[in-house]
Structure 1
Amino acid sequence: MNLNPGQAAEYRRRHDEIWPELAQALLEAGVVDYRIFLDEPANALFATLTHEDAHSLDELPGTALMQRWWNFMQDIMPSHPDASPISVDLLPMFELTRP
């Protein structure tokens, strides 16, 4: 995902004040850990999300709550016509895990 130029502070503010009902919906959908990082010079966001094996994350985009969040964020980041953020899947290149 990306941010529009000059929107890093606003993006952080909105996530610092994430709606409690959205945080709860993410947890109830099976999110265990969700982190978003910013490459400031490029205005590029990189997110990592770990979820339980049994999860319902695929249902969230169809909820009114997620639609409302996307509309709330649309003015500070490139978005699709349905207000979902434009994102690309990254190709895994290396992984090191502790046995």
Structure 2
Amino acid sequence: MESKAFKMKLLPGFKEEYKKRHDEIWPELSRLLSERGIYDYSIFLDEETLTLFAVQKLKDNAEVENLSQESVLRKWWDYMADIMETNPDNSPVEKSLEQVFYMK
């Protein structure tokens, strides 16, 4: 099992909308992530900076390399683009985080 952590940025005034959209995550997107080996996925918000911190656990056989090519994920990015910082293709601006501590 591997963990992946990264941060993204929410635009001001969209905390409730971001939460609402994730509370109503599309079943086909959730299914895709699960099928690709992503589970136990959490996103936390630092309200002072509007930084979103995401943590995903990946199964040993996870296939996430080409996930960005999946149409449902690209549609999700388009759907979320109006409330967070994005790249020109509407993917979220993402910065990987290095794990510096783990307690089992």
- Asked whether the two chains share a fold, i.e. TM above 0.5, the reply is yes
Could you tell me how far apart the structure 2 residues matched to 1:92 and 1:30 are? 20
Bigger Rg, which one: 1
Q: Does 1:17 align with 2:24?
A: yes
Give the number of equivalent residue pairs. 97
Gaps of 5+ in 2: 1-7
Q: Percent sequence identity over matched residues?
A: 43
The alpha-carbon deviation at position 93 of structure 1 amounts to 2.0
| RMSD of aligned Cα (Å) | 0.9
Aligned partner (choices 85, 93, 99) of residue 92 of structure 2: 85
- Which amino acid letter does the alignment assign opposite residue 24 of structure 1? R
Could you tell me how far apart the structure 2 residues matched to 1:53 and 1:93 are? 21
More helix by share: 1
Could you tell me how far apart the structure 2 residues matched to 1:91 and 1:26 are? 22
The equivalent residue for 1:70 is 77
More strand by share: 2
Corresponding residue SS for 1:32: strand
